[in-house]
Amino acid sequence: MAVTFVLLPGAGSDSWYWHRVVPILTGNGHSAITVDLPYSDESAGQYEFADVVVKALHDVEGPVVLVAQSMSAFTAAIVCERTDVDVDLLVLVAPMLPAPGESAGEWWANTGQSAAQRALAVSEGRDPAATNDLRELFFHDVPEELIEEAFQAEEVAMSDTPFETVWRAEEWPHVKTRVIAGSRDRLFPVDFMKRIVRERLGIAPDVIDAGHLIALARPRELAAALEGYVEGL
């Protein structure tokens, strides 16, 4: 079955993040739409981000699979609450999995992410204080040529507003949801992700052998997982 995949990037990223996955999906007969979110706009929070996604969805026909990387899980959850769109499946990739009534800024302490990240670094013999080393934290398993391309691109200035937006919900949206975690994710360690997904959704994530940037490091594996979910619609 052919579907439209609507792909949201993580915080401070853009459509480029998905550039290795899109050709695989479209080559297999699906449609793919990448949505850039206005991360640098101080007036835009998660609900304004959701408006951007909904606008991109309005002309889509047929089944829709909404795929959200990292912090855009907050945006995706809001989109799935909207009555003017129809999302058939929500897939969260290495997500900041939100809870109703929570903001992205509160998420870190609420989930215990910092302790989990530190414990993993110590267990692997890495410096737990080296949190600003983006290459070590995010790009450790990404091909070198892509790392250079990523660091040569203009940096997206990240506004504080989306981190301050509280998700005004009482429960998880009534949309079929799947979660993908990276087995070597240094930001959201896999055991941490398994716990959060179990506590908040009551399911287990599927795991891909990758770090946090799964679409860059393991595009074929990620595309295969996405297409596998479609078979169950």
Residue-wise pLDDT for 80-113, tens only, equals 999 888 999 999 999 999 999 999 999 999 999 9
Output the six-digit token pair for 188.
Answer: 């959201």
pLDDT band at residue 131 under the 50/70/90 scheme:
confident
Neighbours of 139 (CB within 10 A): 21
How many whole angstroms separate alpha carbon 98 and alpha carbon 199? Answer: 11
Ramachandran region, residue 105 (left: φ > 0; alpha: ψ -120 to 50; beta: rest): alpha
Contact (CB, 8 A) for 79 and 54: yes
The yes-or-no verdict on residue 217 having pLDDT over 90 is yes
The yes-or-no verdict on residue 115 having pLDDT over 90 is yes
Strand partners, 32: 5
The yes-or-no verdict on residue 153 having pLDDT over 90 is no
How many whole angstroms separate alpha carbon 148 and alpha carbon 221? Answer: 23
The yes-or-no verdict on residue 185 having pLDDT over 90 is yes
Contact (CB, 8 A) for 62 and 30: no
Structural domains in the chain? 4-230 (3.40.50.1820)
The yes-or-no verdict on residue 173 having pLDDT over 80 is yes
How many whole angstroms separate alpha carbon 229 and alpha carbon 5? Answer: 12
For 57-85, what is the mean pLDDT?
Answer: 95
Pick from 15, 7, 44: nearest CA to 162: 44
pTM, rounded to two decimals: 0.97
The yes-or-no verdict on residue 20 having pLDDT over 80 is yes
pLDDT for res 59: 84
